[in-house]
Structures are given as structure tokens and as C-alpha cells.
Amino acid sequence: MGEVGAAAQSADSAGTPLPVAVDAMGGDSAPESIVAGAKRAVEQFGIPVLLVGRPDEMGDVGDIPVLPASEVIAMDAEPANSVRRMKDSSVVRAAEAVRDGAASSLLSAGNTGAAMAASLLRMGRIKGVSRPAIAVPFPVLGSTPTTLLDCGANADCQPEWLVQFAQLGSIYARTRFGIETPRVGVMTIGEEAGKGNQLVKDTCVLMEEGSWINNCGATYVGNLEGRDLMTGVADVIVCDGFTGNIILKSLEGGIGVALDAVRDVLDSVDVPEVAEHVRPKLEPVFDELDVDTRGAAMLLGTRGVSMIAHGSSSPAAIANAIRTAHEMAEVGIVGNIRAMVEAGR
């Protein structure tokens, strides 16, 4: 398989934009909410979509083209084996559509591990990328998000991988959020150099050496702590996938509990002024703080754009994720990563 393949195209040979291949069957309320999100992306954003899955279960999809796939990998199925075995599953067919140049990118809100495995196995890894990583943007109120990676692709990591995550994250922050010189830090448990577990200590030695910066145009800001994640002190923070996934889930859960408690209080206050003056101002804040719906994770390092949305994504969140997938393919993030890796050889 050659390095410059069909994957990572955003338009066909005639210049017509390729559609986003959407796994219609993946998600807590799939296919309904996925199809609804796809329609929204087409109608509101004018983005072409290819729905992949069981046509007879999708309901009315309007003019959206459908790529039939007979199997569905369940949310709790074992990812790698399922992808190998279920060759006609929606997420596998969607990844193949990207590989074959029939789609610009993949979006799945289904089994995260399966979306990852399908992307890795069908699109393949960019040559020179040791381990693809999941990047998740965390909201920073009133500013560009801070991207944390790896958020779950690699439970046990080598220091060298974390250094490459720093590079991948820098390309992502620049390509997606327009941050010219991303500030990159290492997630650990103390601000002073040399604080952390053995992996972080070894990683920091490599990070401080600094040659990794040349390929990706970042600034190294050193050790960061959990509290620095949503305050905008860095644009990219790297950690192993075990730590990153636990941070992601803890914050989704904790912020969710806190904001639900606030909502409950507002619901219990039977005063029209509250509904009139407080809710309209709070809703945008709730929205901005929602890691799930705004964030859609991206697998960085595969030979095609692979976006992973939360299983509970609303149609609006799916539409946003489709738009992001489309944009990432259009601006050529895969090519940017490839160029970065090649510059480092």
C-alpha cells in the first residue's frame, strides 16, 4: 500500500467535494439521531454526506446517498475482533469508503474502539507515526479549546510516543483552531520539572531536548496539572491514553453532575423572572462547557480523517461533527501530519 493513496482526498477527480461517510448505525439512539444529524449537516451546512448502514432501518433519508452495510458492531462489543470478523459492518464499510476515495472522512458515534480499529485497519497508519492518538478539545470559556491527547487509543505508552503526540497535537491545534505556534505541555502531578511518574519523567527529558519542535512549530510550556486543562494556559497537553481517557470521562461526569444540579435548582424555582433572565444567559454557557457535544474526538495519525463522536450525541452534535470532519479533510490535516512526519526524518 503506497503512502500517497486514495485516503485523505476531499474531492473527486472532477473537483466535486467528497461526502463524509457517516456510520448511521453507531450511537445510543442510532440510526434515528444519526440520520437526523446527517440531514441537518446537509441542509444547514451544505455538506455532502454518505450514510452507511442498513437502509431499511434508516427511515426517510431524503436525498442523502446510502452505502448499504448489513452488520452492526454493538456499543459494548470487543473492538478489534469485531472489526476483523464483521466485514460488512457499517463502521468498516465507512472506513473503506474513505480508503477507496469514495468519502473524504469518517464519522462514527458508535463503539469507539471499533471506529479506531476500523480506521487503523482499513485506512492504515501514516508512515512514521508510531501510534495514532485520540485528540479531544476541552472547552476554555471565551477562548480556543485546549486539546488533550491521547484520550484513549493507547493505554500503555512509550516516552517517544508522547513526544510524537505533542507534534500531532500541534498540527491539529494549528489546522483546526488556527493557532500558529501552539503551546504544548505534559500532563503531570506537579509544576516543577522532574515531577510525575516514570513515563512523564522520561518524556520530559525528551521534550526538553527540544528537537521535536522543529517539525511542528510549537512552544514547549513544560509540566501542567489537571487544573490547567480548562484555563487556557496551553493549547495542547499530552499524556498516555489511560490517563487521558480517565480525565475525559471524569470531567464529562463531574461537570455534568454540577450543571445538572444547577439545572435542577432552576427548575425548582417557580419565578418567571428566572426563566426570562437567567436561562437565556445560562444555556450558552452550559453549551460551551459540554465536552461531549462540542468536542468530537479525532484519531490523529491515520491515512484518512476519522472523527469519533460521543454515543449520546444529539442530532446537532452529529451535524457539528460532520462539519468538522468535512473541514478537516478539506484543509488537508492528513497531508499536514504527513509533511510534519517526513520533515522529521
Give the residues lining the site for a second copy (CB under 8 A): 76, 78, 141, 152, 155-156, 187-189, 191-192, 196-198, 200, 225-231, 239-243, 245-259, 261-262, 265-266, 268-269, 271, 273-274, 277-278, 281-282, 285, 289
Grid cell of 6 as nine digits? 486514495
Are the C-beta atoms of residues 24 and 52 closer than 8 Å to each other?
yes
CA 167 to CA 165: how far, in whole Å?
5
Shortest Å distance, C-beta 286 to a second copy: 9
Closer CB to a second copy, residue 159 or residue 217?
159
227 vs 345, beta carbon nearer a second copy: 227
C-alpha cell belonging to residue 213? 519542535
Q: How far is the CB of 289 from a second copy (least distance, A)?
A: 5
d(C-alpha 10, C-alpha 305), whole Å: 10
Question: Would you say 199 or 322 has its CB closer to a second copy?
Answer: 199
Nearer to a second copy, 46 or 254 (CB): 254
Nearer to a second copy, 4 or 266 (CB): 266
Smallest distance from the beta carbon of 222 to a second copy, in angstroms? 14
Distance between CA 188 and CA 181 in Å, rounded? 22
Least distance to a second copy from the beta carbon of 62, Å? 35
Q: How far is the CB of 249 from a second copy (least distance, A)?
A: 3
Q: Which of 315, 298, 188 shows the shortest CA–CA distance to 243?
A: 188
Query: Where does the chain show beta strands of DSSP type E?
Result: 20-23, 49-53, 66-68, 105-108, 133-138, 146-149, 183-187, 219-224, 236-238, 297-300, 305-308
Least distance to a second copy from the beta carbon of 164, Å? 19
Cβ closest to a second copy, residue 269 vs residue 343: 269
| Paired sense of beta strands 183-187 and 236-238, if any | parallel
Cβ contact 202:116 at 8 Å:
no
Q: Are 210 and 154 in contact (CB under 8 A)?
A: no
Contact assessment for residue 240 and residue 200, using Cβ atoms and an 8 Å cutoff: no
